[in-house]
């Protein structure tokens, strides 16, 4: 890929050694070609990555004739009614359910995780070590393995086939990751702030809500974004624990819709576009927090 001639990038060294390569042409040309090839490869990859998505968006404005006849072209006109049809075919309902579960689980997951992190980092709770191990183990357990017993458990708790089931599971299975994320951040906070507050007679919960939580804001934003990404896209639990089609969230609902609409391609594409858009926008806005969350969460 890159030029393999080690002298190519360091003209000074070459001159000093005064070796036989002609001063200008050879390495310069080779370097230029190398660079050009890299650019070509990067550009091709970018097209491969982005083109299917553009195709999705363009096709959602087409009619069936255009989808078949001009797969690579732009739509002849903007047919917004495809989106209306997709909305009526269930996307609006699925969308609402997804918003409820996502928003709810963001709240519960970040709150419970921040509490747990506070307890572990600042309060030095008894048996903190085993709790950390419990959380660590939770990171390593695969959701599908719990599927069959959960099926019975949720029925006994009478939350099978309700959005509560998803809310509870999305929280429980994400608490380990989120707690570690917030914990890693809290450990680095200076301890003297809350020591001063204790001297002023502040209670533990006052310290948590008024001092610690505001200081953790950047990592809480990251945690919330990652939880949004998870809950918005989760599939296994939504597939198994909801049977009522009115309750389905987007990932499962879209699959349903695919089998119902069959060859009504433009409406299918419109549904996909509507489902993809929120996370895409959220990512473009919060790119920084997203990436911090990803890398922080992995390292510790």
Partner 1 sequence: MNRQIERWRTWVWVLPAVVLLVVFVYYPIVDNIRLSFFSWSAFSTSPAFVGLDNYTTAATDPVFWHSLWNNVLYAVISLIFQVGLALVLAAVLEEVVHQRLRGILRTIYFIPATISITVAGILFSFVYNPQIGLLNRALGAVGLGSLAQDWLGNPQTAIFGVIGMSQWQSIGYTAVLFVVAIQRIPRELYEAAKVDGAGHVRTFLSVTIPLLREMTTLVVILTMSGAFLVFNEIMVMTAGGPSNSSQVLNTWLYHNAFLTDDMGYASAIGTVIFVITFSISAAQILITRRRRVQW
> Which residues in the 139-178 window bind partner 1 by CB under 8 A?
139-151, 153, 168-169, 171-173, 175-176
Nearer to partner 1, 56 or 84 (CB): 56
| 287 part of the interface to partner 1, by CB under 8 A | yes
| 131 part of the interface to partner 1, by CB under 8 A | yes
**What does the alpha-carbon distance between residue 50 and residue 276 come to, in Å, rounded to a whole number?**
13
Which of these ranges, 38-46, 81-89, 194-202, 214-222, lies near partner 1 under the rule CB under 8 A? Answer: 38-46
**Can you point out the beta strands (E) in 53-143?**
none
Nearest distance from C-beta of residue 217 to partner 1, angstroms: 19
- 184-203 residues near partner 1, rule: CB under 8 A: none
- 219-278 residues near partner 1, rule: CB under 8 A: 229, 232-233, 235-236, 239-240, 250-252, 254-255, 258, 263, 265, 268-269, 272, 275-276
Q: Residue 86 has which token pair?
A: 């997709």
Position among 84, 100, 119, 213 found at the interface with partner 1 (CB under 8 A): 119
Nearer to partner 1, 118 or 185 (CB): 118
x/- site string to partner 1, residues 52 to 81, per CB under 8 A? xx-xx----------xx--xx---------
| 102 part of the interface to partner 1, by CB under 8 A | no
| 209 part of the interface to partner 1, by CB under 8 A | no
| 45 part of the interface to partner 1, by CB under 8 A | yes
Q: Residue 183 has which token pair?
A: 């914990």
The DSSP line for 203-218 is -HHHHIIIIIHHHTHH
**What does the alpha-carbon distance between residue 110 and residue 95 come to, in Å, rounded to a whole number?**
22
| 120 part of the interface to partner 1, by CB under 8 A | yes
Query: By three-state DSSP, how is residue 144 classified?
Result: helix
Nearer to partner 1, 12 or 25 (CB): 12
Nearest distance from C-beta of residue 196 to partner 1, angstroms: 20
Task: Please name the residues in contact with 198: beta carbons below 8 A apart, sequence gap of 6 or more.
Answer: 207
Applying CB under 8 A, the site for partner 1 has a residue count of: 100
Q: Please give the backbone phi and psi of residue 129, each rounded to the nearest 5 degrees, phi first.
A: -60, -55
* Cβ(180)–Cβ(135) below 8 Å: yes
Query: By three-state DSSP, how is residue 216 classified?
Result: coil
Query: Taken in order 177, 182, 183, 188, is the CA torsion positive or negative?
Result: positive
| 37 part of the interface to partner 1, by CB under 8 A | no
* Cβ(91)–Cβ(60) below 8 Å: no
Instruction: Give the DSSP letter of residue 90.
Output: I
Task: Please name the residues in contact with 243: beta carbons below 8 A apart, sequence gap of 6 or more.
Answer: 161
* Cβ(249)–Cβ(238) below 8 Å: yes
Position among 138, 161, 197, 221 found at the interface with partner 1 (CB under 8 A): 138
Which of these ranges, 81-89, 119-127, 195-203, 209-217, lies near partner 1 under the rule CB under 8 A? Answer: 119-127
């Amino acid at each position: 890929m890159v030029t393999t001639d080690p002298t190519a990038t360091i003209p000074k060294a070459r001159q000093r050694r005064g070796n036989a390569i002609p001063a200008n042409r050879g390495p310069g040309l080779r370097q230029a070609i190398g660079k050009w090839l890299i650019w070509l490869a990067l550009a091709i990859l970018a097209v491969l990555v982005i083109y299917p998505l553009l195709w999705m968006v363009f096709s959602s404005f087409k009619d069936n004739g255009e989808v078949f006849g001009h797969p690579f072209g732009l739509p002849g006109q903007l047919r917004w009614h495809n989106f209306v049809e997709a909305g009526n075919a269930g996307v609006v309902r699925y969308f609402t359910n997804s918003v409820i579960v996502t928003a709810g689980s963001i709240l519960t997951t970040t709150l419970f995780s921040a509490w747990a992190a506070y307890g572990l980092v600042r309060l030095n709770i008894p048996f903190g070590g085993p709790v950390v191990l419990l959380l660590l183990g939770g990171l390593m357990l695969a959701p599908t393995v719990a599927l069959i017993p959960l099926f019975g458990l949720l029925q006994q708790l009478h939350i099978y086939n309700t959005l509560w089931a998803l809310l509870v599971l999305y929280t429980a299975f994400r608490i380990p990751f989120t707690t570690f994320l917030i914990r890693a951040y809290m450990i680095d906070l200076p301890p003297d702030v809350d020591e001063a507050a204790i001297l002023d007679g502040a209670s533990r919960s006052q310290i948590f809500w008024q001092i610690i939580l505001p200081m953790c804001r950047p990592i809480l934003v990251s945690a919330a974004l990652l939880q949004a990404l998870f809950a918005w896209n989760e599939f296994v639990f939504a597939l198994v624990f909801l049977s009522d089609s009115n309750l389905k969230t987007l990932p499962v609902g879209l699959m349903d819709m695919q089998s119902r609409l069959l060859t009504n391609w433009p409406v299918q594409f419109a549904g996909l576009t509507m489902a993809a858009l929120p996370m895409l926008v959220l990512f473009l806005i919060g790119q920084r927090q997203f990436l911090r969350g990803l890398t922080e969460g992995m390292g510790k």
